[in-house]
Amino acid sequence: MLVVRLVERRDIDALIALAAQAVPRLTNLPEWREGLEARIESTRASLEREIATPGDEVYMFSLEDTVAGRLVGTATLRAQAGIGQAYYTYRRETMIHASPGLGLRQEVDVLSFSHEISTATQLCALAVAPEYRDDLEAVALLRRARLAFIKQHPQRFAHWCAVAFAGVLDARGRSPFWESVGRHFFDRDFAEINFHAGRRAKSFVAEMMPQLPLYEELLTPEAREVIGETHIAHRHARQAMLDEGFKPGRHIDIFDAGPVLTARAQRLRTVAESRGCTLAPREPGPDAPCALVARSGLDDFRVVAAPAVLDPDGGARLGASARRALEMESGERLLLVPPRSTVEAT
Amino acid sequence: MLVVRLVERRDIDALIALAAQAVPRLTNLPEWREGLEARIESTRASLEREIATPGDEVYMFSLEDTVAGRLVGTATLRAQAGIGQAYYTYRRETMIHASPGLGLRQEVDVLSFSHEISTATQLCALAVAPEYRDDLEAVALLRRARLAFIKQHPQRFAHWCAVAFAGVLDARGRSPFWESVGRHFFDRDFAEINFHAGRRAKSFVAEMMPQLPLYEELLTPEAREVIGETHIAHRHARQAMLDEGFKPGRHIDIFDAGPVLTARAQRLRTVAESRGCTLAPREPGPDAPCALVARSGLDDFRVVAAPAVLDPDGGARLGASARRALEMESGERLLLVPPRSTVEAT
Amino acid sequence: MIVRPIQLDDLDALQQMARETGVGFTSLPDNREFLREKIEHSMASFLDPRGEGAQLYFFVLEDDQASSAERIAGCCAIEARVGLSSPFYHYRLGRLAHSSPELGLHRLLETLFLSSDHTGDAEVCSLYLRPAWRGGSGLRSRLGTMISRVRWLFIAAQRERFPQRVLAEMRGRVDDQGASPFWKSLGSRFLPMDFGDADRLIGLGEKGFIGELMPKYPIYTAFLTQEARLSIGQVHDQTRPAIAMLAHEGLRWEGYIDIFDGGPTMEAYIDDVRGVRDSRRLVARVDPDASDREARASGFRPRWLVARDGAAKDFRAAWVSRAPREERLVLSLAEAQRLNVSNGDYLRVLEC
Amino acid sequence: MIVRPIQLDDLDALQQMARETGVGFTSLPDNREFLREKIEHSMASFLDPRGEGAQLYFFVLEDDQASSAERIAGCCAIEARVGLSSPFYHYRLGRLAHSSPELGLHRLLETLFLSSDHTGDAEVCSLYLRPAWRGGSGLRSRLGTMISRVRWLFIAAQRERFPQRVLAEMRGRVDDQGASPFWKSLGSRFLPMDFGDADRLIGLGEKGFIGELMPKYPIYTAFLTQEARLSIGQVHDQTRPAIAMLAHEGLRWEGYIDIFDGGPTMEAYIDDVRGVRDSRRLVARVDPDASDREARASGFRPRWLVARDGAAKDFRAAWVSRAPREERLVLSLAEAQRLNVSNGDYLRVLEC
C-alpha cells in the first residue's frame, strides 16, 4: 500500500535518488545532499514549533510503498513561498499604447518583476520514482496529501497557495525563454542557473535579473511562444491542479516562463471537501469507493487512498490494510475526502 | 412604485439635475448636457446592435418613481471599461529589497500604472436624488438591476466586473492623493481634472500621468493614508458591493486612490441567484417576501422590488402593482432573484 | 556664392530640395504648406529683435553670379530652442551595473531611456547641398564647408539668441536593403507604420505619438537584435562626412540617439564649438583699390568666411580673399557689396 | 614641499587625516586595515609598468624641509578606472516630456535614474589639506592649488594609464543641523540606516547594497521634498572652493549626482581638462649657477608646478622658480635634487 507521511532522516538516500531522476530537473529539488538534509531538518524543526501564523516553515513529505518497503516519491510545502528569501515571478500585464491623434491603439504585453507570490503557501518539489510515474493514483495521492495537511493545520499556512510548473525546453534541453532573457544577465546555461537557484539563496536573482519591466515584443519568437506554457512532462500535473481548483494566472517563472497557478486554499477541492470523522470499528463493504484518508495529527500525519464508507453517525469505515498503513485504531480522528463522484460539481 | 428601466431621451433634464447633486461629484457623471445626451444615444445604439462579444457599448439606466412620476436615480454599465479609451488604475505591488550581505530586508510598496481593468465590465455613474439617498431599497434596486441585466444578456458583457468608489477628500474637498501625485503632472485642481476626465476622452491621462511605477514611500503621509480608502459617502455602497460578492483588490483610482473592486460576473449574488421563470396568473399571499423581479427583454427590460412567490411549477406570482410597473402579462418571461433569507449563504 | 536668410521667393527651390532629399531627411518633408510655414517662421525669427523663443533660422546658399534661374545651391538651418512647444525625445544610452557578490558576478548592462534632456537646446539641421553643386575644385570644393560652418558664424554673431548647448542629429545606419536595423528591432514593434511614415510625422512636427506609442520603460539593449545593437550611435554612410565635420568642430556623441533609427546626436556646449570659439569680430576696411583678381581666378580656394556682425535680419555670409590683419579685414568693393557692408562696420570672420 | 606617491611609512599620517576628515569624506574611512590596503594598492599601481586596470594612485604632500615629525601636509588620489570590480552608481538627472495635445498641456518632468554610466572612467578624489597647512601667504597660500592640480600633471605625464573621461564627486548640501535633505527625502526611505553608516559602507567599497536596497525604478523629483529638490547638484559649503577649482579646470556638472547626498559629479574629457591640456613637456636644464634665492624668499608665490616626465613610480612634483623658455626649463641644483631629475631629463610643467 502507498502511504504519504512526513519525511524522516533515514529517507535521505532515497530522496537524492529521486532528485537525480526528476524530469525535468526541479529547481526546488536539487540533487544535493547538504540541501536535502537541511530540508529534512527544517521539516523536523517546523513540526516541533508552535505556529500561530505561517513563517519560514518547510514540510517535506515522503511517499512510501509499504509492500515494496521503499520510498518512491516526495513533495514539499513551504508555509510561505518567499519568506527569508524573496520568491520572484514575472507578472504579465497588458498596457495600452494609444494615440487618439493618429487613431491608433496598440496592446503591449509587459513582464513585470513581481514579489506577489511570496506570501502564498508553495506546493513544490514533487517527484516520484520512474516506475511509479504512470501510476496516476500514486501521483494524485502525493499531490493531494499536502492539501489534506493544510486542511488539518490551517494556522500553519497562508490563505492562498501557489504551484509552479516547469516551462518548455527545446529538443536540446535549453529553455528558449532563458536564452532570450536570463542569458543576457548571466552568461550561464539554464541548467546551471537552475542548479544554483536550487542550492543557494535565490536572492542573487534579485541582484542579477532585470527588475525593470520587459516588453514581450522584444523577446525572441521562441521565447514568446513558451511564456506560461508547461513542460510536457508536467502537463498532466498541471491539469490535475486545475481540476483541484487552481486558477491559471498572470505569473510565470522568471527563469523558464513556466506557469504559476494560484488558488485560495479553502477553495481547493481536497480542502473544501474533506471532513473530519472518527474511525469506525466496522469494515466497508466490498464495493466501497476509494477515498483519500488522512490520519489526524502533526508529526504522525499519514495519508492513504483506500475504500471507505462514511456512516450516517460520522464514523468512517476503513479496511484492515488502510488501518495498518495509517497505524490507526477505532475511535481515533481522521480526515476523509470522499471520492469525487459522490460530490456535486461546484 | 420604483422601477429601473433603460434610459430614454426624455430623461435628459432629470439626469443633469442628478449629476449636479452627486456627492462627491462623479467622474463618470459630469453635469454636462452634451456628454449625457451622448451617453443616452450610445445606450440606444447599443440596444439596437447585435452583440456577440462585449465592445464599446454603454447601458444607462433610470430609476423612476412611478407614483411621483419622476426620475430619481441613474446608473450605468460599460460593457468594457477600457475599450476605445483605456481605463487606467494603479496596481499596488510590494517589492522586496533585500541585502543578504547586510542582513537587511525591506518591503517596498509600489504603485504600477495598470491597464488590467480595461477588459472588465464597469459598473459606474450611480446617483440618486438627495431625498432618496436614505431609501436603502431604492439604492439597492438601482445597484442590482444592472446585475440582473448582465444575467439576462451575458454575451453583451465581460466575464468579470469592476466598480470604483470615490476616494477620500479632505475637509476642503481636496484629494490628498491628488495633491501628492497628480498635482505634479497637471497644475490643476482635482475637481477640474475630475471634470475633464469625465467630459473628455481619458486618453490624456496616459499622456500626462506618470507611467513609471511610483514608490509609496515617496508620497506624503496624507496621501499614503487614503490609498484604497473610500469616500465616506460611498462606504455603504462599497459594503453593499462586498456583500454582493465583489472582492477588494490591488487596484486604485489614479486620481484619488479610491478602491476598485472586482468580481467574476457569475459569482455575484444577484447573477448567481437569479433564475428565469414565467409570470403566473395568481397573486402572491399577503406575507410574500420581497424579491427583485426583472422583465426579460432588452429595450423593454424593467426591474422592480416586489413581493413574489415562486410556484413549484416555475411560475412566479406577482402583485398587480408590480405587473403594472413591469408592464407584463401572465405567461411572459421574467427573471427573479429570491430574497436573501431564502438562499443559503455561499 | 552667398548664404542669406531664406525668403518666400525661395519656396519653389526649397520644395525642389525637399523632393531631392527624400525619406530619412526628417526635417524637410515634401509638403508645400509646411515648407511655406517654415519660411515664414524663419523670416519672423530673423526679424525678431530679441529672439528668445523657439526661433528658426533658415538659410539658403545662393549663386549670386548665376545667370540661370537655378540660383539656390543648398540650405541649412538652426533651431534656437528645441522642444519648447512640442515634446522632443531621444533615447539615451546608459549603463547599469548588475552585480552579485555571492555568485562573484558583476555585469554592466546597457539600457535605453526615453529622454527629453535636450529640451531648450539649439539644433543645427536641414543641411543640404544640391548634387549639381557638389565636387569640383577651387571655390566649388568649399561649398559644403561654407553651408555647414556658416551656422557657427551666425551663432557667434548672434550669441545671445542661443542657449548653452547645441546638437545635431545624424541619420542612422541602414542595411543593404535601405532599412534601419534599429527601427526593425525596436520602433516597428510599437509603431504600426513603416519607417518612412513615422519619419514623415516627425518632420511635420507631430511628435506627440512618440510619448503615446513608444515604450515608456527603459529597454535593455540586450533584447534588441545584434544588428540593431550595432547600429546604436552609428551613422548612415552618406552621413560620414557630416559627422566628421561636426566632430572636427568639437561636437561629440554623448549617448543620445534617434528613437527611430538609432543615429547619434552630436552635441557640444556652444562656446566650445570651434567655429564659434575661433570666429573673430573685426572691423571692415573697404578699399576701393583692392583687387578681386585672385578671388575670380578659377583655382581660388577661399579660406575666410565672413558676415556682417549686426542685426540678424541683415546677415549675409560670403568668402573673402584676404586674411585679416590685426583687428581689420580689407574688403574689395565687390566683397563689401556682396556682404552689404560699409567701411567701419563690424564683421564676424571665421577661418575655414 | 613635494608631492610624491604614498608609502607604507605614511600609514600613521594617513590614519590621522582619516580621523580629521570625518563623515561625508567617503573615500577615507578611519579603518587602519583598509587604509593599509589602500596604500599597498597604490604602491602596486605606481610600480605596474602598464597600469591598465583599476589602479589607484595615492599621493601625499610632504614638507621636505620640516624639522618636526609632522611632515605630511595633505593627500590626494586618482582612481584610474572606477566600477570595474564593484558596481559604481549615480543618479542621473534627466528630463521627460509629458504632453497632451488635447489639453494643450506640455510639461517637462525631472527624473532620477540609477546609473552606472561612469564605469571605467577615472576619478580624482581624496583631496585633503590639513588645517595646519591652510591659509598663509606666499608658497603656503598655494598648497591647495598644488595638491589639487598635481593630479592633472600626473595624468598628463602618464596619459596612457587613463581613459577618456575623468570625474570628481562633490560633497552634497547639508542643512543647519548637518543633515542631508536629499538623504532624508530619498535614501533614508529605502535604507534602514543613518547617513553616516551608509557613507561608511561606501567608503569601504561595499557598494553592492545600493543595487539591492535602493529604488530600481526611476524617481520623479517632484516626489522629493522641496529641500531635497533644491539640493540636487548642490554642494556642501566647505566644498565650494573645490568645485570652483574643478570648474576652472573645465570640469562640468552633467547631471550625475551622488545617490546619498545629491552632490554633483563634476566631469570632463581628460584631454579637455585645462591642467592636462596646458601642461607642457620640456627638457630639464640643470644649472649649478642658478640661484634659489627667490624661491627661498618668504613672499615667494610659485607659479610653475613641475614633475619628471618618466616612470610613474619616480613621480615627484614640486614648484620651481623659473619660467620655461622655449622647450627648456632651468632648474637649480636644489630643485633638480628635489625632483630627482638630471640634466636633459624630460619634465612635465604646468603653470598654476
Look at residues C277, C259, C260 and name the one whose alpha carbon lies nearest to residue C268.
C277
- At B208, the pLDDT band (50, 70, 90 cuts) reads confident
What 3-state class would DSSP assign to D294?
helix
Among C residues 275-334, those touching chain B with beta carbons less than 8 Å apart: none
- For residue A256, the model assigns a pLDDT of 92
What 3-state class would DSSP assign to C52?
coil
Q: How far apart are CA D37 and CA D27, in angstroms?
A: 13
Query: CB-based contacts of C127: which residues, under 8 Å, 6+ apart?
Result: C74, C75, C76, C77, C147, C148, C242
Give the sign of the dihedral formed by CA C240, CA C242, CA C245, CA C250: negative
- Could you tell me the CATH number of the domain that includes residue A311? 2.40.40.20
- Could you tell me the CATH number of the domain that includes residue A55? 3.40.630.30
Q: Does C100 contact chain B (CB < 8 Å)?
A: no
pLDDT tens track for D183-217: 999 999 998 888 888 877 877 777 777 777 888 88
Q: How far apart are CA C229 and CA C221, in angstroms?
A: 6
**Residues of chain C contacting residue D269, judged by C-beta atoms under 8 Å apart:** 252
Q: Please say which residue of A245, A269, A293 terminates a domain.
A: A269
The answer to whether the Cβ–Cβ distance between A99 and C186 falls below 8 Å is no
Residue found under cell 534602514:
D192
Same domain, residue pair B242 and B139: yes
Same domain, residue pair A23 and A152: yes
Look at residues D222, C218, C110 and name the one whose alpha carbon lies nearest to residue B215.
D222
Question: Within 10 Å of residue A103's Cβ, how many Cβ atoms?
Answer: 7
H or E element that contains D75: strand D72-79
Look at residues A98, A107, A111 and name the one whose alpha carbon lies nearest to residue A224.
A111
Q: What is the mean pLDDT of residues A54-59?
A: 93
- For residue C233, the model assigns a pLDDT of 96
Q: Does B211 contact chain D (CB < 8 Å)?
A: no
What 3-state class would DSSP assign to B41?
helix
Planar angle of CA A238, A242, A246, nearest 5 degrees: 110
- In this structure, which amino acid lies at residue A138? A
What 3-state class would DSSP assign to A176?
helix
Residue, of B182 and A196, whose pLDDT is higher = B182
Cα nearest neighbour of C113 on chain B: B212
- For residue A200, the model assigns a pLDDT of 57
- Could you tell me the three cell numbers for B147? 446585475
Q: Does D100 contact chain A (CB < 8 Å)?
A: no
- For residue A312, the model assigns a pLDDT of 83
Q: Does B215 contact chain D (CB < 8 Å)?
A: yes
User: What is the DSSP code (8-state) at residue C260?
Assistant: T
Q: Does B106 contact chain D (CB < 8 Å)?
A: yes
Distances (CA, A) of D149 to A60, D156, D159, D173, D292: 66, 11, 15, 24, 23
Q: What is the mean pLDDT of residues B290-299?
A: 92
Q: Per this entry, what is the length of chain D?
A: 352
Q: Does A207 contact chain D (CB < 8 Å)?
A: yes
Q: Does A113 contact chain C (CB < 8 Å)?
A: no
Average pLDDT, rounded, for chain D: 90
Lowest mean pLDDT of B197-201, B303-307, C203-207, D330-334, name the range: B197-201
- At D24, the pLDDT band (50, 70, 90 cuts) reads low
pLDDT of D334 strictly over 80: yes
- Contact between C259 and C169 (Cβ < 8 Å): no
- For residue D201, the model assigns a pLDDT of 80
What 3-state class would DSSP assign to B161?
strand
- For residue B344, the model assigns a pLDDT of 37
- For residue D13, the model assigns a pLDDT of 94
- For residue A245, the model assigns a pLDDT of 94
Phi, psi at B40, each rounded to 5°:
-60, -45
- Contact between A11 and A70 (Cβ < 8 Å): no
What 3-state class would DSSP assign to A85?
coil
Let me know if residue A96 belongs to a domain: no
Annotation marks residue A231 as catalytic = yes
Q: How far apart are CA C308 and CA C286, in angstroms?
A: 13
**Residues of chain B contacting residue C212, judged by C-beta atoms under 8 Å apart:** 203, 206-207
Planar angle of CA D181, D182, D188, nearest 5 degrees: 95
Q: What is the mean pLDDT of residues D237-242?
A: 88
The answer to whether the Cβ–Cβ distance between A212 and C224 falls below 8 Å is no
Q: How far apart are CA B128 and CA B6, in angstroms?
A: 15
Query: CB-based contacts of D181: which residues, under 8 Å, 6+ apart?
Result: D173, D174, D175, D225, D227, D228, D230, D231, D262
- Closest chain C C-alpha to D297 CA, distance in angstroms: 41
- For residue A199, the model assigns a pLDDT of 60
- For residue B106, the model assigns a pLDDT of 82
Q: Note the CATH number of domain C276-351.
A: 2.40.40.20
Same domain, residue pair B118 and B160: yes
Query: CB-based contacts of D279: which residues, under 8 Å, 6+ apart?
Result: D152, D153, D156, D157, D348, D349, D350
Same domain, residue pair B177 and B196: yes
Distances (CA, A) of D58 to C81, D84, D251, D312: 44, 18, 21, 12
What 3-state class would DSSP assign to C116?
coil
Lowest mean pLDDT of B46-50, B321-325, C113-117, D48-52, name the range: D48-52
Percentage of chain A beyond pLDDT 90 is 60
Question: Within 10 Å of residue D216's Cβ, how many Cβ atoms?
Answer: 21
Same domain, residue pair A135 and A157: yes
Same domain, residue pair A143 and A279: no
- At A338, the pLDDT band (50, 70, 90 cuts) reads confident
User: Which residues is D166 bridged to in the sheet?
Assistant: D122, D268
Same domain, residue pair A265 and A282: no
Residue found under cell 506627440:
C208
Q: Note the CATH number of domain C2-92+115-272.
A: 3.40.630.30
Let me know if residue B102 belongs to a domain: no
Cα nearest neighbour of B267 on chain A: A346
User: Which residues is D99 bridged to in the sheet?
Assistant: D106
User: Which residues is B64 bridged to in the sheet?
Assistant: B3, B71
**Residues of chain C contacting residue B211, judged by C-beta atoms under 8 Å apart:** 216
Among A residues 179-218, those touching chain B with beta carbons less than 8 Å apart: 201, 203, 206
- For residue C137, the model assigns a pLDDT of 86
- Closest chain B C-alpha to D218 CA, distance in angstroms: 7
Cα nearest neighbour of A209 on chain C: C98
Residue, of B213 and C45, whose pLDDT is higher = C45
H or E element that contains A178: helix A176-180
Same domain, residue pair B72 and B150: yes
Phi, psi at C275, each rounded to 5°:
-65, -25
Let me know if residue A125 belongs to a domain: yes
- For residue B343, the model assigns a pLDDT of 38
Q: Please say which residue of A240, A269, A298 terminates a domain.
A: A269
pLDDT of A207 strictly over 70: no
Q: Please say which residue of A241, A269, A297 terminates a domain.
A: A269
What 3-state class would DSSP assign to C289?
coil
Query: CB-based contacts of B62: which residues, under 8 Å, 6+ apart?
Result: B4, B5, B6, B7, B8, B11, B14, B15, B71, B73, B74
Q: How far apart are CA D154 and CA D51, in angstroms?
A: 13
Structure pTM? 0.84
Let me know if residue B9 belongs to a domain: yes
Distance between alpha carbon B231 and the CA centroid of its chain, in Å? 15
Q: How far apart are CA C61 and CA C148, in angstroms?
A: 10
- Contact between C142 and C289 (Cβ < 8 Å): no
Planar angle of CA B294, B297, B301, nearest 5 degrees: 50
- For residue A346, the model assigns a pLDDT of 34
pLDDT of A292 strictly over 70: yes
The answer to whether the Cβ–Cβ distance between B207 and C208 falls below 8 Å is yes
Average pLDDT, rounded, for chain B: 88
Same domain, residue pair B251 and B164: yes
Q: How far apart are CA B295 and CA B275, in angstroms?
A: 12
pLDDT of A6 strictly over 80: yes
- At B199, the pLDDT band (50, 70, 90 cuts) reads low
Q: What is the mean pLDDT of residues A179-205?
A: 72
Q: Does C217 contact chain A (CB < 8 Å)?
A: yes
Q: What is the mean pLDDT of residues A90-98?
A: 84
- At A48, the pLDDT band (50, 70, 90 cuts) reads very high
Catalytic residue among D90, D118, D236, D248: D236
Q: Are strands B315-318 and B275-279 parallel, antiparallel or unpaired?
A: parallel
Residue A53, burial from CB neighbour count under 10 angstroms (0-12, 13-18, 19+): exposed
Q: What is the mean pLDDT of residues D7-29?
A: 86
Domains of chain D, residue spans: 2-92+115-272, 276-351
Each residue's pLDDT, cut to its tens digit, for chain C (352 residues) gives 999 999 999 999 999 999 988 766 777 888 899 999 999 999 999 999 888 889 999 999 999 888 777 899 999 999 999 988 778 889 999 998 887 766 677 788 899 998 999 999 999 999 999 998 988 888 888 999 999 999 999 999 999 999 999 999 998 998 888 889 999 999 999 988 888 888 778 777 777 777 778 888 889 999 999 999 999 999 988 889 889 999 999 999 999 999 989 999 999 999 999 999 999 999 999 998 888 777 777 778 889 999 999 999 999 999 998 999 989 999 999 999 999 999 999 999 999 9
Q: How far apart are CA A326 and CA A338, in angstroms?
A: 17
Same domain, residue pair A204 and A341: no
User: In terms of residue numbers, what domain contains A199?
Assistant: 2-91+113-269
What 3-state class would DSSP assign to B164?
strand
Catalytic residue among B231, B234, B236, B251: B231
Same domain, residue pair A169 and A223: yes
User: What is the DSSP code (8-state) at residue D263?
Assistant: P
Residue, of C97 and A142, whose pLDDT is higher = A142
Let me know if residue B144 belongs to a domain: yes
- For residue C280, the model assigns a pLDDT of 95
Phi, psi at B250, each rounded to 5°:
-95, 0
pLDDT tens track for C151-173: 999 999 999 999 999 999 998 99
- For residue C348, the model assigns a pLDDT of 96
**Residues of chain C contacting residue B115, judged by C-beta atoms under 8 Å apart:** none
Look at residues B149, B150, B194, B146 and name the one whose alpha carbon lies nearest to residue B169.
B194
Q: Are strands D56-62 and A260-264 parallel, antiparallel or unpaired?
A: unpaired
Same domain, residue pair A237 and A290: no
Q: Are strands A214-215 and A275-279 parallel, antiparallel or unpaired?
A: unpaired
Let me know if residue B154 belongs to a domain: yes
Number of structural domains chain A divides into: 2
Q: What is the mean pLDDT of residues D24-29?
A: 75
pLDDT of A203 strictly over 60: no
